[in-house]
């Protein structure tokens, strides 16, 4: 049986917890991108961003805790596209520490984010992930998300 997971809205005082969680996630993602900076969250811009997502109401930043310890987090926001007829809820970052994966922590974070989306009149969820991140792709497919586009990148 999985331990009880508490999902709560992150506060400004949580930004360092989010920073540590984000670093773990970014480090894992760095294997998918040769130009990825896994230490970005420790830069001035990264610190500013983490403080913003935990304090600005335009963001939804959630933290998952198990036994009072951070297990994962999610942040997202409303995003408008000039070429689309409606705004979407953009899931910017989500991650669960390795020892808590496959225990529905990510699904619980997504469910809480969807609740925030409904409260903010957002009906479409969008997330990007690396093409080679097959674990993330399977996770999003289980949540009934469908591929929409592909980004191409190459040397000049």
**Which pLDDT score is estimated for 112?**
98
**Which pLDDT score is estimated for 78?**
97
Per-residue pLDDT of the chain (156 residues; tens, 9 = 90+): 667 999 999 999 999 999 999 999 899 889 999 999 999 999 999 999 999 999 999 999 999 999 999 999 999 999 999 998 899 999 999 999 999 999 999 999 999 999 999 999 999 999 999 999 999 999 999 999 999 999 999 999
**Which pLDDT score is estimated for 25?**
87
Supply the Cα-derived Rg of the chain in whole angstroms: 16
Q: What SS3 class is residue 109?
A: helix
Using CA atoms, how far apart are residues 115 and 118, in angstroms rounded to an integer? 5
Using CA atoms, how far apart are residues 29 and 35, in angstroms rounded to an integer? 11
pTM of the model: 0.93
Using CA atoms, how far apart are residues 29 and 130, in angstroms rounded to an integer? 8
Domains and CATH numbers, the chain: 5-142 (3.40.630.30)
Q: What SS3 class is residue 141?
A: helix
**Which pLDDT score is estimated for 105?**
97
- The model's pLDDT over 48-85, given as tens digits with 9 standing for 90+, comes to 999 999 999 999 999 999 999 999 999 999 999 999 88
């Amino acid at each position: 049986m999985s331990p009880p997971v508490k999902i709560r809205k992150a506060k400004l005082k949580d930004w360092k917890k989010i920073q540590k969680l984000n670093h773990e996630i970014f480090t894992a993602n760095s294997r998918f991108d040769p130009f990825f900076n896994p230490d970005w969250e420790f830069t001035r811009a990264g610190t500013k961003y983490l403080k913003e997502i935990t304090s600005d109401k335009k963001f939804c930043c959630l933290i998952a805790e198990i036994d009072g310890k951070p297990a994962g987090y999610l942040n997202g926001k409303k995003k408008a596209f000039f070429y689309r007829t409606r705004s979407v809820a953009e899931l910017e970052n989500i991650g669960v520490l390795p020892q808590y994966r496959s225990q529905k922590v990510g699904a619980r974070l997504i469910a809480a984010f969807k609740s925030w989306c409904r409260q903010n009149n957002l009906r479409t969820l969008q997330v990007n992930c690396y093409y080679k991140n097959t674990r993330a792709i399977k996770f999003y497919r289980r949540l009934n998300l469908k591929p929409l586009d592909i980004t191409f990148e190459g040397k000049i």
